[in-house]
Amino acid sequence: MPEMKLFHSPVAGLLFVAAASLSVHAFGQEPAQPGLTWTATGATNGNVFYHVASLLQSGKVLIAGGTDGAFVTLASAQLYDPASGRWSFTGSMSTPRNSHTGTLLPDGRVLVTGGQTGVTFVASAEVYDPATVQWSLTGSMSVVRVAHSAVLLNTGQVLVAGGVNGPPTSF
């Protein structure tokens, strides 16, 4: 299993995690700044690629979905606890997905939107509640989206834009 690297900054709220395709970082911060260091940490429970990572209000990192080394789409989710340096499984999403988004909501929950399951593109969305470690389905997007962007607006709404909204018609 890949070794995780944790990049810690003395500046509050900055956490960087890197392994395979996992990357949580703060915009505008360069790893070469004085006082920032890399520290080895625990490995994820199995290989995960094309997942989303969200820094929770508790300081834990949630990774959700993705694919394994054989490109099987995953519904599983894991939590990284910086206090113990370990990953643990948490509740699974109802829909396996990769190339989706994860957005931290003001109340601490995480909204996951779109993505794909195998070759099927999805419009569904789910919410992870760290208090109950459960996922629940919420309203679907009006169109399917893969490899899109999502951003939390000042109103508390999430804007989803771009990406691909249908499989290619030719190669």
Q: What is the pLDDT of residues 43-91, one digit of tens each?
A: 889 889 999 999 999 999 999 999 998 889 999 999 999 999 999 999 9
Q: What is the pLDDT of residues 112-147, one digit of tens each?
A: 999 999 889 999 999 999 999 999 999 999 999 999
SS3 letters for 79-128?
A: EEECCCCEEEEECCCCCCCECCEEEECCCCCEEEECCEECCEECCCEEEE
**Strand partners for 2:** none
Read off the tokens for 68. 């394994």
The CA-atom distances, in angstroms, between 114 and each of 55, 58, 66, 147 are 19, 25, 12, 9
The better pLDDT of the pair 104, 70 is held by 104
* Cα torsion through 43, 45, 46, 49, rounded to 10: -80
Q: How far apart are CA 115 and CA 79, in angstroms?
A: 20
pLDDT at 23: 38
Q: How far apart are CA 8 and CA 80, in angstroms?
A: 14
Q: Helix, strand, coil shares of the chain as percentages rounded to 5?
A: 0, 40, 60
Q: What is the pLDDT of residues 18-49, one digit of tens each?
A: 433 333 444 444 555 677 777 778 888 988 99
pLDDT category at 10 given cuts 50, 70, 90 is very low
Q: How far apart are CA 66 and CA 53, in angstroms?
A: 10
pLDDT at 165: 85
47 by DSSP, 3-state: which? Answer: coil
